[in-house]
Amino acid sequence: MQAIQSQLFGLREYLSPVLKESKFKEHGRITPEEFVAAGDFLVYKFPVWTWEKGDDSKVRDFLPKDKQYLVTRGVPCLRRAQSLAYTDADEDAERLLSFGDGANAGDGEEWVETHAGRKAAINPGADSAGIAEIPDDDGDEVSRGLGNLSLSGGQGESHDTPDLDDIPDMEEDDLEEGDEATAKPKLAASATTAEAGSSQPDPSKSNLLQVRTYDVMITYDKYYQTPRVWLIGYDENGKPLTPQQIFQDISADHAQKTVTIEPFIHSASLQAASVHPCKHSSVMKKVIERMNNSVVAEQLAQQAKTNPSSSSAAGKDSSSGKRKWFGRKASGNTKEAAAAEQEEEPEGMRVDFYLVVFLKFIASIVPTIEVDSTTSF
């Protein structure tokens, strides 16, 4: 069933037209040219991302051959998404702590203690009751011993210097035979390696942090006219993760719903976890609107600092418009004036930042996979 659905989706994307007009601020969708521009900006600012061309049989003709999709490799995933789940039991385990003194306990600052019902891990070394007290030492014995020392030999005892001839010579043959740092024959080394491999402890039972890594790809979806994210996971030994293991790193609201295992569109044999882009444009539209308002406000403030005379002159003209209106002559340069005013308007958010914002949105779907390397933006 899933294979038939993938074939239908591929046919639908093939028959859909290519977007020519920019609509990233109005609808959250971008054209292939804007996708390439945003990808170039992402690669320039964050070199962990690179362009790939994919298989020759899967080339999209509306994109450059050497810029078919973006990829970053070795993205760490330190823990499972289930560890971030906040349940009702965690909410019930919260309590308020006050740091006031006595009767003024209510006037002090209050803090929320989370996970109050959890028991501390059993650690014998951390038990203060099991540590014996160190007795106080007045230092009499130490000072008495230091007082008996002297450079002349203390109580007049004579220490004979040993003759250098009595020291035995170190023979090189004995050193080579008994030195553990000397190279061993290859057969012995391979046998030692085999023994070490057979006695290697199970990684799941060790105290080391097991880190998964992911290859993250960003492609352009022609039907939805938005970017699309693909994930390929590996365990700590470099082996590919199974679909069940990949869904452990996806939030429960999206696993097997908006995130499914599908054939990678730029490969003939590769399977990857895909974040379905059906809601990308609506979410990106809301995020871009908020960010664009803040960018416009910042640009207006910067213009006011650089050109304070223009804003004051505009205020004077508006206040004295009634007096000067009758004395003005008709001007034929109204179009040029309108164009000049339009040029002075703030540009707002550029389409170059689209993928930077897009990665921050994807980070909410895969919270434990560090796909967002754009934290400085």
Torsions phi, psi for 212 (to 5 deg): -90, 155
Q: Is 278 a catalytic residue?
A: yes
CA end-to-end span of the chain: 42
Angle at CA of residue 73, ends 68 and 75, nearest 5°? 130
Q: Strands (DSSP E) along 136-186, which ranges?
A: none
Q: What is the DSSP string of 81-127?
A: GGGG---HHHHHT-EEEE---GGGGGGS-EEEEPSTTPPPPP-GGG-
CA 371 to chain centre: 5
Of the candidates 358, 363, 372, which has an alpha carbon nearest to the alpha carbon of residue 35?
Answer: 358
Query: Which residues share a beta bridge with 216?
Result: 72, 231
Query: Which residues share a beta bridge with 75?
Result: 214
Torsions phi, psi for 169 (to 5 deg): -80, 150
Return the H-helix or E-strand segment holding 75.
Answer: strand 69-77
Return the H-helix or E-strand segment holding 32.
Answer: helix 32-45
| Whole-Å CA distances, 79 to 12, 83, 84, 354 | 37, 7, 9, 28
Give me the catalytic one of 8, 84, 89, 278. Answer: 278
How far is 284 from 227, CA to CA, in rounded Å?
11
Q: 3-state class of 255 per DSSP?
A: strand
For the chain, give the number of residues: 377
Which positions are catalytic? 278
